[in-house]
Chains A and B, each alone.
Chain A
């Protein structure tokens, strides 16, 4: 039941989003027909009008959106103006690229955040806690595009250890060749992401350590690190997953920035380039896929939480 409600909610969000963005695109600079006229001087004014009718641009917004929606529901998302390809052919690889980036970031930052959270929670207010809290605040407060810039400056320009941008040349596309290109983007995203998560893990842990069953474990004479590991970590982990679940949207925004900074053709950069290049259909569909992926991420995080923490029952 819960599951169905969530899916229904997701469908509503996607519908609303597609309608709003579809409407907004009508307000973007340039008119699709004008753009065509610009790129092909052979088109006359009469041709332009005929084209307008052909693409039913003279109909009201709702009608056009209806056509678009019906086609989209049948799996036809239309073409990209710039690439002259079906948008799905462009979005597929981009989605995969972004998934790699986000998945790596999630794994690394969950582990790091849990570890830092544990270190802090062992002695709240202590030296380590203060340091970790400072690091978390710094992470939250860093503009990630600037962080990317600084990393490029340090590791690509000054030290020359890592590539500044790109995704690897066709020849060296194997995982290792690819991985070199992911190091800086993932580092950027992890740093940008970890602050919020760590703070959450820390407070969840402190809360847990105050709880009764932990007190009991302590009273039974269990040693402190053991208590923390046995009882604290699962709890901290589940709250880390909760906060990650809530922040998938933020994570995707971060991915847009890093992909743009490191010239990686992920979903975020695809959206950005599409809007800059007036390739609005691509932008619309890519944005919907990004939203969909974000919502799925939220859902998965909730399910993972339920699985980790039997007290929450979501299904």
Chain B
């Protein structure tokens, strides 16, 4: 009985999954993304297996070619390229997912507030959102990333640490990537707040917070998922370019962006050092975008 009820209740999700699966590009995107995640997570085990230390600079083996333990050779400081690419993947994907989720929290809050309360608050919040969307965001991000954390009262040690650079880039990207999610959540909230089950909850005495969390939010999950999947790609690109420009993840912690830091000068001597990280970014983002596109179709209410 119970199992049946749950199975039936999952029907919309099963339908969506079936529609998603039919989309071959989206499905391959998903496979590629899973493979990339496995690739990144395999860094530490592989490092141990090969008995090398990817952070260990060894100037004697700069630019050395492949070998039995260094499958993709060495970089300009003699570090193992493959393992650093794998660790870089953890950082790049980690920043991407964390900043998208944090941005989603901001976007959901703003979208719910604007859509549910409407009126002047809605007008104000949406003007604000449109204003942010129109701005040239990269220079703004650079300004935010250039802030000296010690002037905000953090210790100098923390400010220089790569943990700080991780949190900072997650935070500043989240500060600008919420807009799309906010607009989608607002639009869905607007339509849901007039639905009779929400009115019924109000009549029965439920407070605003309870209604938002229990009646509205669960019913806007689908558009949120679609929006997040579409935002993730651009977030990964933002992390890459900021780290590349020296405003993101601080070396020696590798990210796919900052592994390209020196690539421009080295492009003639060691082109592969410039090609690998960029190729990984490209493959990741295109996979994510294919997934996002597939989710959009699969979650399209007109198809339900």
Contacts and interface: CB of A to CB of B under 8 A. Distances in A.
| Direct contact between A and B judged by beta carbons closer than 8 A | yes
Interface string A212-234: 00000000000000000000000
Contacts of B293: 137
Q: Is the interface of A mostly helix, strand, loop or mixed?
A: helix
A261 interface: yes
Chain B interface SS verdict (over half): helix
Given A21-B143, A27-B148, A141-B233, A153 B138 contact: no
A145 B260 contact: yes
A272 B143 CA distance: 9
B151 A27 contact: yes
A261 B264 contact: yes
Interface stretch (B6-14, B98-106, B128-136): B128-136
A298 B134 contact: yes
A249 interface: yes
Contact of A257 (B143, B147, B241): B241
Interface string A1-41: 00000000100110011000100111111100000000000
A271 B134 CA distance: 18
Given A149-B274, A275-B146, A291 B263 contact: no
A287 B282 contact: no
Nearest to A136: B289
Contact of A24 (B143, B245, B257, B271): B143
Contact of B127 (A9, A256, A287): A9
Contacts of A88: none
A141 B137 contact: no
A141 B285 contact: yes
Contacts of A12: 131
Interface in B128-166: 131, 133-140, 142-144, 146-148, 151-152
B139 A143 contact: no
A142 B236 CA distance: 11
Contacts of B134: 13, 246, 248-249, 294-295, 298
B87 interface: no
B271 A146 contact: no
Contact of A287 (B140, B245, B277): B140
Contacts of A291: 135-136
Contact of B271 (A140, A153, A276): A153
Contacts of A294: 134-136
A141 B282 contact: yes
B281 A271 contact: no
Contacts of B285: 140-143
A143 B237 contact: yes
A313 interface: no
Contact of A253 (B139, B263, B264, B278): B139
A153 B137 contact: no
B286 interface: yes
Interface residues of B, number: 44
B30 interface: no
Q: Which of A137, A144, A248, A268 has the most CB of B within 10 A?
A: A137
Interface in B108-122: none
B20 interface: no
Contacts of B286: 137-138, 140-141
A250 B290 CA distance: 21
A137 B289 contact: yes
Nearest to A16: B131
A200 interface: no
Contacts of A260: 245
B131 A257 contact: no
A272 B245 contact: yes
Contact of A252 (B136, B233, B240, B278): B136
Given A140-B233, A140-B286, 9 more contacts: A13-B135, A21-B143, A24-B144, A143-B240, A143-B278, A144-B241, A271-B139, A272-B142, A294-B134
7 contacts: A137-B290, A143-B240, A143-B278, A145-B241, A150-B278, A257-B241, A283-B143
7 closest residue pairs by CB, A with B: A146-B278, A253-B138, A141-B286, A252-B136, A141-B285, A29-B148, A27-B147
Interface of A: 9, 12-13, 16-17, 21, 24-30, 137-138, 140-146, 149-150, 152-153, 157, 246, 248-250, 252-253, 256-257, 260-261, 268, 271-272, 275-276, 283, 287, 290-291, 294-295, 298
